């Protein structure tokens, strides 16, 4: 029986103690055995590989395939900046941490290097042999220097002299011009020279940084081409005219390279009096962290490669010689080209649920019933509109909101600013330490403060990751609360790209819990009991463990027992052990984990009842869902937290119940679509590898994202 068959014909677990002649029970397995756990960094890297795989899927429009290839580049940049940099720091400071998988950082780095080299080489092969030729067939070309026509050469020369050369600063290397400190991920050239300059210097080497203000992709004018969209890379332009920067000298070679640095911030909130001020200072240093990777053109001579490695203190395993541009992410300008709609996913219009279609008063609609939205299939506009309505409504007295990633110029921030200026009591908990959004969050915090809002930076040492909004409104003689709770960020752009749930509610108990949580974030006091809300770092982990254990008890008692969890990552060892125990008790467990998963499924006697799948498609799967059969009375939670140590132990997270049979049945149906997907899903195997699912010969193709587009906004086939 293959693994796909097991999905539909799983054997019922044996009931313990029914065979009087059975042999003595074997000793229970050791759930601390490292072989039961997968390494988190390697699991994250394999997720990036699954993203790259999408670039080869012929069912996906061509420009979208290019996007997946470029997303792989971005993901790998962050992987080296954070994950690899973290491992290297452990080794450098002689503080090597070994996780449940038992692999030491040096071993992990070696395995990362082997897999990353293989996949980056594969990435450039896909680009050069598949994507670029197919783009050229549709009239979209990146014209190489060797292919430039006389007219194109003339135009490029003029462009270089007028737009590029005035901004360049070539740096000759000699005792008075030491090797420059290069910015993280910047494009640079090492240039080999022959001859002496006006001062008699003849070091033979120069460094040429490409200014960040210059576009890396330049569109050639139509009059210089023969149809289509034609582009040249800034690297090609600079390479072709490098000799003009060194008059009277001969350029023997010009080779592009890029250095990746440690970009993690190292602020201890307990050691600073003003977190915002400290963060501003630390952001500048992010550009010049320790080197972790060197990318260089694969035609660069070995002596120059060795020279660069020595300058940056890197070894051969940290060198990546590439057959193409070292800064591939710059090609997003082509991937987002709107002139070729047939090469992209077709657009769709997010739907509105019936409960909101015929009403302009969102408070009245939410007072009647809870409203559940699944973005991007259903519009994020009601969330923004509720806040806008609150800003204008004289009956609204206070608005409280958490912001993790939103952007200083977002519609959400606009509405909060309007509310503050209108005299509402506006309190915003801004998490400054949202990785790579710190600068944006500093900007939005300043903007809110200028408007008169109270801005809080959360709790010292604990990131605020919960997604909550609370509005208090005077209705007659009482204050009525309305809340929004979500699994995603208050970012309207992400709401078109990420799958996330939103709940709009006026449930008094749930809104009271949200009010208490804001009190914990902005004030001080002992932990207050919550009626419905689960929140980290206090009750969330404990309750989830209890819910999993309860399923095991149901299974042992012969009652319906099933767990379905949809998250972005699963790394917490206690959670994994709890799931193993439930599996051993006979609980059927389905995990939909987009990225890192340290649980090893399919191990006989331990995780034989656990299936793990990852879904990658048009939208980034971001929603977190926790579904428990609970003996036939399901309990369903949505939340902001993944099953990671950082989320459960070191962050403020909120997980909220979905009540009412109708909404619970809806979520169950949507989870079942994920579990039935046989085109965009990959199933985790016991050896830690992923197997991409394909429809069997007589089986219909099922793509969950297309099905949800069709069901919720009538655009399934139009999706791609």
Paired tokens of 139: 């009239």
Cα 115 off chain centre by: 20
Give CA angle at 628 (627, 631), nearest 5°: 150
DSSP 372: E
Flag whether 618 is marked binding. no
Flag whether 489 is marked binding. no
Residue 465 known to be catalytic: yes
Q: Residues 239, 465, 484, 491: which is the catalytic one? A: 465
Paired tokens of 579: 């799931």
Burial (CB count within 10 angstroms: exposed 0-12, middle 13-18, buried 19+), residue 25: exposed
Contacts of 633 (CB under 8 A, 6+ apart): none
Q: Using N-to-C axis directions, what is the helix angle for 704-713 and 661-676, rounded to 10°? A: 140
Three-state SS across 123-186?
Answer: HHHHHHHHHHHHHHHCCEEECCHHHCCHHHHHHHHHHHHHHHHHHCCCEECECCECCCCCCCCC
Contacts of 276 (CB under 8 A, 6+ apart): 432, 442, 445, 457
Q: Which residues pair with 218 in a beta bridge?
A: 232
Contacts of 591 (CB under 8 A, 6+ apart): 564, 565, 566, 567, 570, 579, 597, 599, 601, 610, 611, 612, 613
Task: Report the distance separating Cα 622 and Cα 569, nearest Å.
Answer: 10
Give the torsion through C-alpha atoms of 142, 148, 151, 152, to 10 deg.
Answer: 40
Give CA angle at 249 (246, 255), nearest 5°: 65
Flag whether 74 is marked binding. no
Flag whether 609 is marked binding. no
Reduce the DSSP state of residue 48 to 3 states and report it: helix
Task: Report the distance separating Cα 469 and Cα 484, nearest Å.
Answer: 5
Flag whether 498 is marked binding. yes
Cβ(694)–Cβ(682) below 8 Å: no
Q: Which residues pair with 371 in a beta bridge?
A: 504
Strands 620-621, 498-505: parallel, antiparallel or unpaired by DSSP? parallel
Reduce the DSSP state of residue 238 to 3 states and report it: helix
Flag whether 75 is marked binding. yes
Paired tokens of 357: 């279609």
Paired tokens of 170: 């070539």
Give CA angle at 364 (361, 370), nearest 5°: 115
DSSP-derived secondary structure for 476-500:
TTEEEEEEEEESS-S-TTGGGTEEE
Catalytically active residues, by annotation: 465
Going by the annotation, the residues of the binding site are 75, 405, 435, 498, 594, 622
Going by the annotation, the residues of the binding site for ATP are 75, 498, 594, 622
Going by the annotation, the residues of the binding site for Mg(2+) are 405, 435
């Amino acid at each position: 029986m293959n693994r796909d068959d097991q999905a539909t014909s799983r054997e019922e677990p044996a009931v313990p103690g029914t065979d009087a002649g059975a042999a003595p029970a074997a000793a229970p397995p050791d759930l601390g055995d490292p072989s039961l756990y997968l390494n988190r960094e390697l699991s994250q890297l394999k997720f990036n590989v699954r993203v790259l795989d999408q670039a080869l899927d012929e069912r996906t429009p061509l420009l979208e395939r290019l996007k997946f290839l470029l997303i792989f580049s971005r993901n790998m940049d962050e992987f080296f900046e954070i994950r690899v940099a973290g491992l290297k720091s452990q080794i450098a400071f002689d503080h090597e941490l070994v996780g449940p998988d038992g692999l030491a950082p040096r071993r992990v780095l070696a395995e990362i290097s082997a897999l990353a080299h293989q996949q980056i080489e594969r990435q450039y092969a896909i680009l050069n042999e598949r994507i670029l030729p197919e783009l050229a067939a549709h009239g979209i070309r990146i014209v190489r220097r060797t292919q430039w026509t006389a007219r194109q050469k003339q135009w490029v020369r003029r462009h270089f002299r007028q737009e590029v050369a005035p901004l360049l600063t070539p740096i000759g290397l000699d005792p008075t011009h030491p090797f420059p400190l290069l910015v993280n991920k910047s494009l640079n050239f090492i240039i080999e020279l022959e001859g002496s300059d006006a001062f008699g210097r003849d070091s033979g080497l120069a460094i040429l940084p490409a200014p960040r203000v210059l576009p890396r992709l330049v569109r050639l004018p139509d009059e210089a081409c023969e149809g289509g969209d034609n582009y040249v890379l800034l690297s090609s332009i600079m390479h072709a005219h490098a000799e003009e920067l060194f008059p009277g000298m001969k350029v023997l070679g010009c080779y592009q390279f890029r250095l990746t640095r440690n970009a993690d911030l190292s602020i201890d909130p307990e050691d600073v009096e003003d977190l915002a001020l400290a963060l501003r200072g630390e952001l500048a240093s992010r550009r010049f962290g320790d080197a972790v990777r060197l990318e260089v053109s694969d035609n660069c001579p070995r002596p120059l490669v060795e020279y660069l490695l020595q300058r940056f203190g890197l070894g051969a395993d940290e060198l990546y010689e590439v057959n193409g541009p070292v800064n591939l992410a710059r090609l997003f300008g082509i991937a987002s080209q709107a002139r070729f709609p047939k090469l992209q996913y077709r657009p769709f219009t997010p739907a509105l649920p019936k409960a909101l279609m015929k009403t302009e008063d969102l408070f009245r609609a939410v007072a009647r019933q809870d409203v559940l939205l699944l973005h991007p299939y259903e519009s994020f506009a009601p969330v923004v509109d509720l806040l806008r309505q609150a800003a204008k409504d004289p009956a609204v007295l206070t608005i409280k909101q958490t912001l993790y990633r939103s952007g200083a110029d977002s519609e959400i921030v606009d509405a909060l600013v309007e509310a503050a200026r209108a005299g509402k009591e506006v309190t915003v908990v801004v998490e400054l330490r949202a990785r790579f959004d710190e600068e944006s969050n500093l900007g939005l915090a300043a903007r809110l403060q200028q408007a008169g809002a109270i801005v809080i930076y959360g709790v010292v040492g604990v990131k605020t990751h919960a997604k909550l909004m609370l509005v208090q409104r005077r209705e007659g003689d009482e204050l009525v609360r309305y809340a929004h709770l979500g699994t995603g960020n208050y970012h309207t752009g992400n709401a078109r790209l990420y799958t996330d749930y939103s709940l709009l509610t006026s449930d008094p108990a749930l809104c009271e819990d949200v009010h208490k949580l804001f009190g914990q974030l902005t004030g001080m006091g002992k932990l207050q009991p919550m009626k419905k809300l689960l929140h980290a770092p206090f009750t969330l982990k404990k309750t989830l463990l209890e819910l999993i254990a309860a399923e095991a008890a149901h299974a042992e008692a012969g009652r319906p027992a099933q767990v379905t969890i949809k998250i972005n990552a699963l790394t917490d060892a206690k959670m994994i052990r709890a799931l193993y125990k439930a599996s051993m008790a006979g609980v059927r467990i389905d995990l939909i984990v987009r990225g890192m998963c340290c649980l090893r499924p399919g191990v006989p006697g331990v995780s034989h009842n656990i299936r793990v799948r990852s879904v990658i498609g048009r939208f980034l799967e971001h929603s977190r869902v926790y579904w428990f059969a609970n003996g036939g009375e399901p309990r369903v939670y949505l939340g902001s937290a993944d099953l990671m140590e950082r989320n459960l132990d070191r962050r403020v997270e909120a997980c909220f119940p979905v009540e009412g049979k109708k909404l619970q049945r809806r979520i169950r149906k949507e989870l079942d679509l994920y579990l039935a997907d046989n085109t965009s899903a990959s199933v985790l195997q016991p050896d830690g590898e992923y197997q991409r699912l394909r429809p069997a010969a007589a089986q219909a193709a099922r793509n969950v994202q297309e099905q949800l587009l069709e069901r919720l906004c009538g655009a399934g086939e139009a999706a791609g």
